[in-house]
Structure 1
């Protein structure tokens, strides 16, 4: 047995995507490096998803879970994770597709950067809209983001199908009981949760995930969300509830002396952007209670900014 082999699980969540889900499963099956297990959670679909999924139940490394009650995307994440045994968990929406080299590239990334806890990649849009979405043209070490998530609520990640997370990180926040809050957009739970429990995040610039754009895609189709004028307000309160749950479960608290701890966290990003400095400056000004350390921290942050600027390590924020 290869001692360097990393066991992998692919979690596919499905609800009424019978027309797409077989393509998603096939894309996971047809990887150049095989997943150890593919777990499909059907969230009590009312279309013919059960019939479609039945074709895959005889495949050795595919397991289909048919829920009796529709409870939403977070519930499917919970169910899939509790069944999964992989060291790294990969997430795939039933209407999206992996390129054949996706898993191989991701595993090579994890092996090359053993400190990586959370990886997301660029993706290609297809369907009613086409194009490539890249957060940056090169791979990035995004460091740790506990403080900037706790204080600013920053969302450092991407869509569900681009995400993979180490088991020891997910175990700290899944399963999450607040399933009604996250019937959709449960990738928020993965992105925020991983940051809060101390995941070191990385970005892979190779667009090896296909993100399907269609009329029922709620994440992309902002018009659906705009119908509810209070959507972002509701999301804010759901976020606070989620944060409180994860903080209490993991006995977390806001670090003391933010003037120093904010700078320490910033230094975990090898090539920060100007926006990173602005984020931590905002944290020091708003959340450092001691006026002296508020000023001292700002000076330290500015000096570090000059050092990074002079060294040529400051990333171009426009990328």
Structure 2
């Protein structure tokens, strides 16, 4: 069989033809909650592509606005759009429902207020044409606020092959990117042997595990996913709760433990863990965006940075630093003792719990 015939035979496993359009063997999963102002734009960015997914599964997570009507209108017009309702259980359970209902060989998670590049699926088809064993496709992303201001980059569709997820992970970290959110990927369905839990950052650990367990992967330098910075998003001036900060600290702890057990290069592990820890401090700053941050919180954040981000490993040097710093800042003795203990044990959970307890 010629190479051309072999490629055609293989690709027929991953697409069909319908109404003169290529249909990828791909399931799109969109968890939806009160997104009546955004879901139409999101769905349009999918159904208007030249290459179509097999199905678009929209899980209505108990929305109280007009979200259901918008989705159902699309479902009447496009047979690939499927509407599923569940009582409000959070984005994790909505994604799990989508996975269970998906019939495609590949799965992509899309947030309902985001936009896909017009050529995303055509580029993914190109990836499938290159190799018949791809388990994961990672693409760069870009944020936007208004759809009319969005300009799609068509200049760099370069694709890079990585024979293992470890190699792709190392490349992502080396380029100062963060591989956490599940919407940055297209997954082979059989690799998603876990289910999502929790509500905040619940996808990070699962994505990490799937990525580092993957064999053949591909990377797109071009941004193919556009995430919306909404006025009420966590990183755009929304108040976040103490519970949110505490839950994120738990996710960091789990991801850190997981990465430390891998065979990644020490430098890669450190860069990734430092990113997580810096993001924890960023969330504390967001928490105090609308109220005065107590000086003691700033002090604890400084100590956290020194011990667990800058990673000064010399215990004696750290102890002397804590004493001098405590005296200079006129810190109560009980806190200086905590800093010294943290210096001796390098126990990040100990100091994190102290910070979380101080959040008011």
Match of 2:118 in 1: 100
Q: Distance in 1 between matches of 2:222 and 2:254?
A: 32
Q: Relative CO higher for 1 or 2, CA cutoff 8 Å, sep ≥ 6?
A: 1
- Pair 1:91-2:98 in alignment: no
Consecutive unaligned residues of structure 1, counting only runs of 5 or more, are 244-253, 256-261, 267-275, 283-319
Match of 1:20 in 2: 38
Task: Give the superposition deviation at 1:111.
Answer: 2.7
SS of alignment partner, residue 79 of structure 2: coil
Instruction: Render the CA deviation track for 1:14-38: whole Å, top value 9, x for unaligned.
Output: 1111110111111111111111111
- Pair 1:278-2:267 in alignment: yes
Q: Distance in 2 between matches of 1:224 and 1:39?
A: 31
**Range with greater deviation from structure 2 (2-11 or 193-202):** 193-202
- Structure with higher helix content: 2
Residue number among 8, 11, 15 corresponding to 1:4 in the alignment: 11
Please give the residue correspondences for 1:1-319 in structure 2 after superposition, counting only pairs within 5 Å: 3-5=10-12, 6=14, 7-58=25-76, 59-68=78-87, 70-127=88-145, 139-145=159-165, 157=179, 159-170=181-192, 172-173=193-194, 175-176=195-196, 179=197, 181=198, 183-218=199-234, 220-221=235-236, 224-225=239-240, 228-237=244-253, 239=255, 262=263, 276=265, 278-279=267-268
Task: Give the superposition deviation at 1:142.
Answer: 4.6
Q: CA RMSD in A?
A: 3.9
Q: Point out the structure with max Rg over C-alpha.
A: 2
In structure 2, relative to structure 1, the CA distance for the partners of 1:214 and 1:66 (3 Å cut) is same
SS of alignment partner, residue 57 of structure 1: helix
In structure 2, relative to structure 1, the CA distance for the partners of 1:114 and 1:41 (3 Å cut) is same
The question of whether the paired residues in 1 share the 8 Å contact of 2:201 and 2:248 is answered with no
Q: Distance in 1 between matches of 2:80 and 2:240?
A: 37
In structure 2, relative to structure 1, the CA distance for the partners of 1:148 and 1:232 (3 Å cut) is farther
Consecutive unaligned residues of structure 2, counting only runs of 5 or more, are 1-7, 15-24, 272-360
**Range with greater deviation from structure 2 (191-200 or 93-102):** 191-200
Instruction: Render the CA deviation track for 1:33-73: whole Å, top value 9, x for unaligned.
Output: 111111111111122211212212222111111112x1111
- TM-score (normalised: structure 2): 0.57
SS of alignment partner, residue 34 of structure 1: strand
SS of alignment partner, residue 75 of structure 2: coil
Instruction: Render the CA deviation track for 1:153-182: whole Å, top value 9, x for unaligned.
Output: x99625443321011211x22x34xx3x2x
SS of alignment partner, residue 68 of structure 2: helix
In structure 2, relative to structure 1, the CA distance for the partners of 1:211 and 1:147 (3 Å cut) is closer
**Range with greater deviation from structure 2 (51-60 or 226-235):** 226-235
Task: Give the superposition deviation at 1:140.
Answer: 3.7
In structure 2, relative to structure 1, the CA distance for the partners of 1:156 and 1:198 (3 Å cut) is farther
- TM-score (normalised: structure 1): 0.63
Aligned residues: 243
Q: Distance in 1 between matches of 2:207 and 2:231?
A: 25
